[in-house]
Structure 1
Amino acid sequence: MTKGKRNKMLLSLSIALTSFIAFNGNANAAVAAPRIAEQTSLEQGSEVKQARTSNEALQDWKNWVDDHAYSLNSIQPESFESKIASNKFEDLEMLKPLLHDKRIVFLGESSHGVAEFSLAKTRIIQFLHQEMGYNVLAFESGMGNVMNAQGKIDKQSAQQTMKDGIFGVWWSKETLPLFEYTKKTQSTEQPLMLAGFDIQQQGAFTDGGWLENNQLAKQFSEVENQLVDWTYSKDLKGYQKAKPSIIDVYKQVKSQIPLKEKELKAAYPSEPHITKLMERTLADRIRLAEEYVELSIQSNVDIEQNKYDSFFKTMEWRDQGMLENLLWLAEEIYPTEKFIVWAHNDHIRKAQSEVMGSPYALNLMGERLPDIYKKYSYVLGLYMASGENASNARETWSVLPPVKGSTEDILSSTKKPYTFIDLRNRQNERGNSWMFEPRISYSWGVIQESFVPRDQFDGILLIDKVSIPNYIE
């Protein structure tokens, strides 16, 4: 009998046995049929596919990234007078279908001390504002401080607005173009409005001149300084004695808001929501005095004994406050506007508590975001592959080389200076399985973390080489 006739006979027998099982329920035949089919397959010369090696998998992933990633032409902010020509943003057009139904775009960063992150985010903000109607920019900075900066934006320089509004970690020549752009948009039909959502203290947010009460304004200034000092203290009992008088001053100032609405509007003419924002900021100060400062003092005591639970509580308290403020801005102040949020990756990641190796593997703001907001948000994480970055204290250190198989290593395969990849709109397949399983990445360029990229971000922008900011004192 020839091989061909034998195979035909085996195949016919397999079909016959399968039919017999269907009509007679013969369990033995149910086992026999697959075995005969398997034997037929082997006799026909088919090969059993071997699992790929880690090197083969890595090459598959890099090949896929080469085919699916986008390269940005530039991260330099566009010059602006009244309008930026749309063709200046051709390399960002791929964002339009990804964001067309998204109300909030979160722009993260793995370090606050990277010049290129501020440049790239500024250019993306210009695109989102001008081309897609995102008219509110919310910073990981004090609500009252940014309120103050927005309220006086037409009265002062862009640099002063930057310094009044945001934390000093971003006071740089690379961030300044954003505030120059924002200032110029105020005279257009589509101004970019600045907002802050951080609840923690960031220095005095108002001079109190609008109170027209020198004694109360002086008391207000004093308690602002006292609150900072107590936050770094270890004297819990001392604070508990001082606390009622501090809270009383804040309540007195807050009670003046409805009586001084005209004066507030005159002091902050470019902030149309000044009364609501002032009330909210002072309510936050009262919450800080009532709850946060004691947590912070306990944290200061515990850290000396290498105990960190109380410190983690202060972080989660802060992030809960930031979330509440962001949602309040979105629902009460700008209910019909689309938002851009500027913050560290840790605050905006969608499952920060699941990040292995992070010193802050906690339930932070992004993870606490209500599901409806997650549905209509897009979280973009920024990472770096080489160069230098700075700590919040402006200490400089080198970015560690990417670990083989890390997110940075995989995205670096494009050999482009600025690589963007969308994660959200992907199904798990051979070439992109890397984004559906734990990968190594570096926070601050030196802290090794492991997380599932697609569980944390909707997209990633990798900047190949970075440098420290040119800080403005």
Structure 2
Amino acid sequence: MTRPENMALEILRREQRPLTSDADLLPLLDAIGDARFVLIGEGSHGTHEFYEERARLTRLLIEQRGFTAVAVEADWPDAYRVNRFVRGDAGADESAAGALGDFQRFPRWMWRNSVVEEFVTWLRAHNASGRARPVGFYGLDLYSLHRSMNAVIEYLQEVDQDAAQRARERYGCFEMFGENPQAYGYATEHGAWEPCEQEAMQQLLELQRRETELTAGQQVSDDEHFFAEQNARLARNAEQYYRAMFRGRESSWNIRDTHMVETLEALVEHARGRGEEARVVVWAHNSHLGDARASAMGWQRGEVNLGQLTRERWPESTFIIGQTTYDGQVLAAHDWDEPGLVMNVRPGLHGSLEALLHEVGERFWLDLRAGAPVAGALTQEQLQRFIGVIYRPATERWSHYVETTPAGQYDALLHINRTRALRPLDADAGDAQEEVPDLYPTGQ
């Protein structure tokens, strides 16, 4: 009798699709169909091929399917500088490297790398060609509390100085903590300081209420007001996030990913206000995009994520793609705020998704949609690896693996068996090579 794992392997080998050229991605475009939200994940934040394949597919979606925005796991004000560059706005940077200059928070290599530089250079040229609607570049994350508050004040200073003063007074609630939002979160959660929740909410509501008044007859565009309003929304949600950090991972995680989908909704509504339909490619980690309901994140820890929330809001218009690797190298740090190192990635653990795909082939993609043969082969619970910006090989099983049902997480899966480390733009991120023996440790 054929064992279930051998049957699954036979199905995967039969159904795998090559992943070597743009032509190989055309069947994937067909599978994506009319989806307006294509979420492309990554198994780590430091793998060259994940970024490369994501950029390659995104170019095709823009050129052949008319996608209008790229929304990434990055802070709103940092990404908006790139948005101004790719759209050729007055006063924008003259180079992609310059436009990526606001990505200074750890880990800089996540967005300041050679693949992103090449992609945003291409995107600027695409927009400049005038062949289609300009494509924007936006950030979904919420770490930029102080930069966002400052951006709100700077905007209001241009359109209404009294309103700018009100914003200063409201955001002054955060002032004693300087540029340290974690200190604010700790103080408020332990009763040493009254939360600034109401002040942040009031500022957002005022901007929303006065949009028409502030933009009518002013030397500002509705894009500029949208930029400011989203910064105010970020400040409101970041205030909640930094307080939640001291309650537990689940609470802060859920606030963060809920903010991401709120930002996605705001982009959709902004386009609708102009009589346009938004079609958005999302770039983020597999942990944010692989539907949390199909992993221990959801069924054990009570976490939601961007992939789940997007499917729930737009169930007929969402297509989720994950990316995995078996071994190779990755750019990561041992701990937060430590230098990036080129580390060897351990072979996938026995019984993991990565180990199974290692037996299938070298470079391929799989159709996991309901009804596809592969979906039935990947409905069993199995370990899946998630490497973020931190990689701890010595405790990899506990630090990086989660029980999942892959066919429930993704609509398609890209696998590249051996991968390389991402190449950063900054000399002090990723220069060092951590020498780890190829067989250390086997994990089996």
- TM (normalized to structure 1)? 0.70
How far did residue 424 of structure 1 move? 0.5
User: Counterpart of 1:462?
Assistant: 415
- Distance in 1 between the 2:420 and 2:28 partners? 26
Distance 2:199 2:121 in 1: 37
- The one of 227, 236, 243 aligned to 1:294: 243
Alpha-carbon distance in 1 for matches of 2:226, 2:253:
26
Q: Which residue in the other structure is 2:20 paired with?
A: 73
* 2:259 maps to amino acid: G
Structure-1 separation of matches of 2:251 and 2:264: 20
Alignment of 1:273-312 (within 5 A): 273-289=223-239, 291-296=240-245, 299=246, 309-312=247-250
Determine helix, strand or coil for the equivalent of 2:34.
coil
Among 147, 161, 170, the residue aligned to 2:80: 147
8 A contact 1:150–1:194 mirrored in 2: yes
Quote the Cα distance in structure 1 between the aligned partners of 2:408 and 2:307: 12
2:405 is the alignment partner of 1:452: yes
Q: Is the 8 A contact 1:159 1:179 kept in 2?
A: no
SS in 2 for 1:179: helix
Shift of 1:93: 0.9
Question: 1:292 and 1:96 mapped to 2: Cα distance?
Answer: 36
State the AA in 1 paired with 2:182: T
Q: Distance in 1 between matches of 2:305 and 2:417?
A: 28
Q: Which has the larger radius of gyration?
A: 1
1:199 aligns with 2:142: yes
1:98 to 31, 35, 53: 31
Question: Retained in 2: the 8 A contact 1:149–1:162?
Answer: yes
Counterparts in 2 of 1:295 and 1:361: CA distance versus 1, 3 Å: closer
Q: Please give the alpha-carbon distance, in whole angstroms, between the structure 1 residues aligned to 2:136 and 2:176.
A: 29
Q: 1:315 aligns with which of 253, 277, 284?
A: 253
Q: 1:349 to 1:179 in 2, by over 3 A?
A: same
Could you say if the C-alpha distance between residues 311 and 106 of structure 1 is closer, same or farther in structure 2, counting changes exceeding 3 Å?
A: same
Mapped pair 1:161 → 2:102: no
Match of 1:338 in 2: 279
Q: Give the Cα–Cα distance (whole angstroms) in 2 for the partners of residues 382 and 373 of structure 1.
A: 22
Q: What letter corresponds to residue 103 of structure 1 in structure 2?
A: R
Corresponding residue for 2:429?
none
TM-score between the two structures when normalised by the length of structure 2: 0.74
The amino acid of 2:264's aligned partner reads L
Larger displacement relative to structure 2 (389-398 or 107-116): 389-398
Alpha-carbon shift at residue 263 of structure 1 (Å): 4.2
> 1:106–1:348: 8 Å Cα contact kept in structure 2?
yes
RMSD of aligned C-alpha atoms?
A: 3.6
* Conservation of the 8 A alpha-carbon contact between 1:136 and 1:338: yes
Aligned to 2:418, what secondary structure does the other structure show?
coil
The yes-or-no answer on 1:189 pairing with 2:131 is yes
Secondary structure, counterpart of 1:129 in structure 2: helix
Deviation at 1:324, TM superposition (A): 1.7
User: Which of 45, 58, 73 pairs up with 1:125?
Assistant: 58
Q: Distance in 2 between matches of 1:331 and 1:136?
A: 13
Matched residue, 2:180: 229
- Deviations along 1:46-86, one digit per CA (max 9) or x if unpaired, are xxxxx423xxx444333322221111115xxxxxxxxxxxx
Deviation at 1:457, TM superposition (A): 0.8
Q: Within the alignment, does 1:374 sit opposite 2:315 as a pair?
A: yes
- Are the equivalent residues in 2 in contact too, given 1:209–1:217 (CA < 8 A)? no
Q: Check 1:170–1:105 CA distance in 2 against 1; reply closer, same or farther (3 A cut).
A: same
- Structure 2 vs 1, CA of residues 199 and 218 (structure 1 numbering), >3 Å: closer, same or farther? closer
Partner of 2:315: helix, strand, or coil? helix
Aligned length: 385
Structure 1 CA distance, aligned partners of 2:299 and 2:419?
Answer: 22
Change (3 A) 1:427 1:93: closer
Q: Whole-Å Cα distance in 1 between the matches of residues 347 and 114 of structure 2?
A: 27
Structure 1 residues not aligned, in runs of 5+: 1-50, 75-88, 266-271, 300-308
Distance 2:269 2:204 in 1: 25
Contact 2:310 2:318 in 1 (8 A): no
Quick check: 115-124 or 439-448, which moved more?
439-448
Give the counterpart letter for 1:102 in structure 2: A
What is the alpha-carbon distance in structure 2 between the residues aligned to residue 295 and residue 130 of structure 1?
A: 41
Q: Which moved more, 1:186-195 or 1:388-397?
A: 388-397
- CA contact 1:143–1:281 (8 Å) conserved in 2: yes
**Residue 115 of structure 1: CA displacement?**
1.7
Distance in 1 between residues matched to 2:257 and 2:223, nearest whole Å: 24
Moved more, 119-128 or 200-209: 200-209
Unaligned runs of 5+ in 2: 427-444
Following the alignment from structure 2 to structure 1, what is the Cα–Cα distance between the partners of residues 18 and 115? 21
Deviation per CA, 1:377-429: give whole Å up to 9, x if none.
1110011111122336435543221234432233223432x21111104356x
When structure 1 is superposed on structure 2, of 373-382 and 232-241 the one drifting more is 232-241
Contact 2:39/2:307 (<8 A) preserved: no
Deviation, structure 1 residue 248: 9.6
| CA gap 1:434/1:224 in 2 versus in 1, 3 angstroms | farther
Partner residue, 1:424: 369
CA contact (8 A) 1:386 1:465 kept: yes
Q: Give the conservation status (yes or no) of the 8 Å contact 2:145–2:238.
A: no
Q: Could you list the per-position Cα deviations for residues 146-200 of structure 1 after superposition, in whole angstroms to 9, with x for gaps in the alignment? A: 3343135422121222333797322111221111111112212322211222233
Q: CA deviation at 1:471?
A: 1.5
AA matched with 1:229:
N
Aligned-partner SS, 1:134: coil
- What amino acid does structure 2 have at the position aligned with 1:288? A
- SS of 1:362's equivalent in the other structure is coil
Q: CA–CA distance in 2 between the matches of 1:355 and 1:175?
A: 31
Partner Cα separation in structure 2 for residue 66 and residue 260 of structure 1 = 57
Residues in 1 aligned to 2:360 and 2:197: alpha-carbon distance in whole angstroms: 59
Matched residues in 2 for 1:454 and 1:181: separation? 33
Answer with 109-118 or 243-252: which moved more. Answer: 243-252
Stretch deviating more after TM superposition (236-245 or 122-131)? 236-245
Q: Report deviation, 1:283.
A: 3.2
For residues 175 and 336 of structure 1, what CA distance do their matches in structure 2 show? 25
